[in-house]
Amino acid sequence: MSSLAHESTKPEGVFEQFETLDQQQDTYMIGMWAFLVTEVMFFGVLFLAYAVYRWKYQSIFYEVHNELDLLKGGINTVILLTSSLTMALAVRFAQLNDKRGQLRMLGATLCGAFGFLVVKSLEYSAKFQHHHFPGPDFRWEDPTVPASVAQLFFSLYFAATGLHGVHVIIGILVISSLAILVARDHPLVKGDYIPTEMIGLYWHFVDLVWIFLFPLFYLIPK
């Protein structure tokens, strides 16, 4: 979208603040990684809070975590890893300028994302039914485990997985917007693989967070 009024010797598709295409692409990559650094620190706080409390309450957390549905967590992990693969393939197709392949893979990623949310909502609804959502309605039956610490565990669990879920939803919005733009040959993405790569980076990051969330919450050792 070069729209300089006066003479332009730039190739098509290079924005006016950049001189060359390489410069533009490298700049977008650096910008995206800088943004991912902020996301690392964003989730990092929750991981830190979790680490602090687990350090203190390891055995209690072990007891409480048995309430979590390992099967659903495992399924979600597989779904997310697979969607990461399809996203990487989508980026690859974008790099090779293969529109159909790219759209297929983006669609597959979206399916994975939706699947993740479906499984997650099943998990959450089971938790709500058992009154394990922290707050005034929280109920904990097991007398050997202090209810307050159980509530703490669930606060951390819902904060971390909830934030992750929000990022999945944002990912869905962004990926579907990308798919629509690609399908319509919009100049922003036509022939340019960088937007896909940037969104791919975001989606892989979402997967990364889950790679750590899953063992930390679902696989607490005794």
DSSP 163-220: HHHHHHHHHHHHHHHHHHHHHTT-TTTTT--HHHHHHHHHHHHHHHHHHHHIIIII--
Q: Which is nearer to another protein, 8 or 177 (CB)?
A: 8
171 touches another protein by CB under 8 A? no
Tell me the CA distances in angstroms from 144 to 130, 140, 149, one per residue in order. Answer: 18, 10, 11
**Closest separation in Å from C-beta 214 to another protein:** 8
Q: Count Cβ atoms within 10 A of the Cβ of residue 52 and give its class: 0-12 exposed, 13-18 middle, 19 or more buried.
A: exposed
207, two tokens: 């997967």
**Interaction mask 179-218, another protein, x per CB under 8 A:** ------------xxxx--x--xx--xx-xx--xx-xxx--
72 touches another protein by CB under 8 A? no
**Closest separation in Å from C-beta 208 to another protein:** 5
**Nearest to 192, CA basis, from 85, 113, 102:** 102
Number of residues that bind another protein (CB under 8 A): 97
175 touches another protein by CB under 8 A? no
First to last CA, the chain: 58
**Which stretches of 66-98 are DSSP H helices?**
70-95
Query: 35 to 64, contacts with another protein by CB under 8 A?
Result: 35-49, 51-53, 55-58
**Closest separation in Å from C-beta 78 to another protein:** 7
Give the one residue of 95, 121, 125, 177 binding another protein; rule: CB under 8 A: 95
Q: Which stretch binds another protein (CB under 8 A): 28-36, 111-119, 167-175, 176-184?
A: 28-36
Query: 98 to 157, contacts with another protein by CB under 8 A?
Result: 133-136, 138, 146, 148-149, 151-152, 155-156
